[in-house]
């Protein structure tokens, strides 16, 4: 297992290109199952999760080809060999559940392994299932699998999500495109990844409205065609690299970054005294000698503060002036990075879903353990600003969501290297 060694090395300066969004690509790829014509995704990120989704689609009989070093994905599914998404693939990546809606809508049947929980929470899929039932699906949970049937095809229906769910909205939205009649999804997620999915589906011939409003209306069509679609930039990778100059000082331009993707996050940086500027190429974050101010943050569905940037924000707050309160309201167990940051000298008190961070002058390097994707990158960010050396173990978590993280940070002056097999 690889580790990454980071040594605090002062301010960072330069440019970091932002890749396509992992969480958009993971829902765009299963959309190929809705059509027998090719779907080409450009600006795709090169990540282990994307490769895993490719493996899953191929296991169903779809074709997945990577071009231009993986930045272009050519997908097609003329006919499926099987409609069973096996436990052995699904257990490795929860987003695999996103093949359920498209397969059911396409051929009227699907068997998909239940994903199970993960480090950050129980993460049930009940809302995915209930939304599909509202479209006439018959579901049977058996032996750890969802057995889904829609004899005669799905039909339009109305479903109100009791809580906002990104994945359940994506599954229902894809399924609704081929359902007979009109589907209305209320209290639906409004994340930029959902808007990107809707844009792509419209290019394939779907009739969708309202994806940025919380109420999505879909007029089902008989069939969808192919399309070519550029994946939206990754707002979580963007926010992560915006924190790097904020925590170390310096000025970094994140190429391809767009403020509307991270507005709530930028508002928090602004309150913390960090300057964010829109440039022709993206967004520049600058911090001089002025201290970072402690700010409170509450995670919420988009357009609120993203839970996927909570750990990175906590790393920044560790050396801010004053005390900050971070409330995690999306996942029940998403403070696993806190004890690791405390190994680096941070002062953090976690009580349930609330973490109180009292800023210290400086963190000290230490060996730490990555527990999940965003926790791992928060430890790297903390290491960039710490005195001495930090070794982050189990960085396979990181490779799921960050493309060439060492290279990108080294290009702006960070002292960082990967050690394999440690």
Q: Which of 171, 132, 124 is nearest to 154 (CA)?
A: 132
Q: And the tokens for 172?
A: 């229902």
Residues in contact with ligand EPZ, counted by CB under 6 A, come to a total of 22
What gap in Å lies between CA 347 and CA 360, rounded to an integer? 7
Q: Does 326 bind ligand EPZ (CB under 6 A)?
A: no
In order of 11, 144, 238, 278, 365, the CA distances from 413 in angstroms are 8, 48, 18, 22, 18
Residue 118 annotated to the active site: yes
Q: By three-state DSSP, how is residue 114 classified?
A: coil
6-14, 62-70, 122-130, 407-415 -> range binding ligand EPZ (CB under 6 A): 122-130
CB of 222 to ligand EPZ, least distance (A): 29
Q: What is the largest CA-CA distance in the chain?
A: 66
Using CB under 6 A as the binding rule, the residues of this chain from 351 to 390 that contact ligand EPZ are: 373-374
Among residues 25, 118, 200, 248, which one is catalytic? 118
Q: Which is nearer to ligand EPZ, 307 or 319 (CB)?
A: 307
Q: Which of 110, 168, 201, 355 binds ligand EPZ (CB under 6 A)?
A: 168
Q: Which is nearer to ligand EPZ, 121 or 322 (CB)?
A: 121
For ligand EPZ, which residue of 330, 344, 386, 395 counts as binding (CB under 6 A)?
330
Compare residues 145 and 331 and give the one whose CB is closer to ligand EPZ.
331
CB of 390 to ligand EPZ, least distance (A): 21
CB of 49 to ligand EPZ, least distance (A): 8
Q: Does 346 engage in binding with ligand EPZ (CB under 6 A)?
A: no
Contact 264, 305 (CB under 8 A): yes
Contact 392, 376 (CB under 8 A): yes
Please tell me whether residue 366 adopts helix, strand or coil conformation.
coil
Sorted by sequence, the CB contacts under 8 Å of residue 313 that are 6+ apart come out as 243, 265, 268, 297, 305, 326
Q: Pick the closer one to ligand EPZ by CB: 10 or 121.
A: 121
The size of the chain, in residues, is 422
Query: Least distance from C-beta 93 to ligand EPZ, angstroms?
Result: 8
Among 43, 77, 183, 307, binds ligand EPZ (CB under 6 A): 307
- Tokens representing 161 are 């999500």
What's the rounded Cα separation, in Å, for the pair 348 and 357? 4
Interatomic CA distance for residues 341 and 336, integer angstroms: 9
Please choose, from the candidates 160, 131, 124, the residue with its C-alpha nearest in 3D space to the C-alpha of residue 331: 124
Please give the Cα distance from 2 to 393 (Å, whole number).
7
Q: Looking at residues 123 to 152 of the shown chain, list those that interact with ligand EPZ (rule: CB under 6 A).
A: 123-128
Rounded to whole angstroms, what are the CA distances from 224 to 59, 175, 200? 22, 12, 11
Tell me: does residue 308 bind ligand EPZ (CB under 6 A).
Answer: yes
C-beta closer to ligand EPZ: residue 324 or 376: 376
* Residue with Cβ nearer ligand EPZ (294 or 355): 355
Residues from 399 through 418 that contact ligand EPZ (CB under 6 A) = 401
Enter the tokens of residue 414. 């960070």
> How many Cα atoms sit within 13 Å of 343 on the Cβ side?
16
Q: How far is the CB of 153 from ligand EPZ (least distance, A)?
A: 23
Can you tell me which of 241, 331, 335, 402 binds ligand EPZ, judged by CB under 6 A?
331
**Spatial separation of the C-alpha atoms in residues 216 and 202, rounded to whole Å:** 13
Residue nearest to ligand EPZ (CB): 167
Q: Which residue has the tokens 């969708």?
A: 208
Residue 75, classified by CB atoms within 10 Å of its CB into exposed (0-12), middle (13-18) or buried (19+), is buried
- Shortest reach from residue 50's CB to ligand EPZ, in Å: 11
Q: How far apart are CA 308 and CA 176, in angstroms?
A: 28
Choose the binding region for ligand EPZ from 36-44, 152-160, 165-173, 412-420 (rule: CB under 6 A).
Answer: 165-173
Instruction: Write down the least CB distance from residue 97 to ligand EPZ, Å.
Output: 8
- Whole-angstrom CA distances from 371 to 43, 238, 314, 340, 376 are 28, 21, 15, 9, 7
User: x/- binding map, residues 216-235, to ligand EPZ, per CB under 6 A?
Assistant: --------------------
Does 26 contact ligand EPZ by CB under 6 A?
Answer: yes
Residue placing its CB nearer to ligand EPZ in the complex, 125 or 252: 125
Among 17, 20, 102, 167, binds ligand EPZ (CB under 6 A): 167
Which one among 10, 158, 163, 270 touches ligand EPZ, defined by CB under 6 A? 163
**Residues involved in catalysis:** 118
Residues near ligand EPZ (CB under 6 A):
23, 26, 95, 121, 123-128, 163, 165-168, 307-308, 330-331, 373-374, 401
């Amino acid at each position: 297992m690889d580790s990454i060694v980071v040594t605090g090395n002062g301010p960072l300066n330069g440019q970091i290109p932002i890749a396509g969004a992992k969480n958009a690509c993971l829902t765009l790829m299963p959309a190929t199952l809705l059509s027998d014509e090719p779907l080409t995704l450009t600006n795709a990120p090169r990540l282990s999760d994307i490769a895993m989704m490719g493996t899953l689609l191929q296991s169903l009989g779809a074709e997945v080809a990577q071009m231009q070093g993986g930045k272009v994905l050519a997908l097609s599914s003329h006919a499926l060999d099987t409609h069973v998404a096996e436990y052995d693939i699904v257990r490795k990546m929860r987003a695999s559940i996103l093949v359920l809606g498209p397969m059911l809508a396409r051929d009227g049947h699907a068997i998909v392994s239940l994903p199970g929980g993960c480090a950050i929470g129980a993460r049930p899929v009940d809302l995915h299932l209930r939304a599909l039932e509202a479209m006439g699906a018959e579901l049977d949970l058996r032996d750890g699998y969802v057995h889904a049937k829609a004899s005669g095809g799905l039909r339009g229906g109305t479903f109100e999500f009791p809580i906002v769910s990104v994945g359940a909205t994506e599954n229902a939205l894809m399924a609704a495109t081929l359902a007979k009649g009109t589907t209305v999804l209320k209290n639906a997620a409004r994340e930029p990844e959902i808007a990107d999915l809707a844009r792509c589906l419209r290019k394939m011939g779907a009739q969708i409205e309202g994806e940025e409003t919380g109420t999505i209306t879909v007029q089902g069509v008989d069939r969808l065609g192919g399309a070519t679609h550029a994946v939206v930039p990754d707002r979580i990778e963007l926010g992560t690299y915006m924190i790097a100059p904020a925590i170390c000082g310096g000025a970094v331009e994140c190429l391809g970054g767009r403020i509307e993707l991270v507005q709530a996050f930028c508002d928090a940086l602004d309150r913390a005294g960090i300057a964010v500027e829109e440039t022709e190429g993206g967004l520049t974050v600058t911090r001089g000698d002025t201290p970072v101010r402690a700010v409170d943050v509450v995670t919420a569905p988009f357009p609120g503060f993203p839970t996927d940037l909570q750990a990175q924000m906590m790393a920044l707050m560790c050396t801010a002036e004053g005390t900050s309160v971070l409330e995690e309201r999306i996942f029940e167990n998403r403070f696993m990075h806190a004890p690791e940051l405390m190994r680096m000298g941070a002062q953090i008190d976690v009580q349930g879903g609330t973490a109180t961070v009292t800023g210290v002058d400086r963190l000290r390097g230490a060996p730490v353990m990555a527990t999940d994707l965003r926790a791992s990158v928060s430890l790297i960010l903390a290491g960039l600003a710490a005195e001495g050396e930090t070794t982050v173990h189990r960085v396979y978590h990181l490779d799921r969501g960050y493309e060439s993280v060492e290279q990108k940070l080294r290009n702006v002056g960070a002292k960082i290297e990967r050690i394999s097999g440690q």
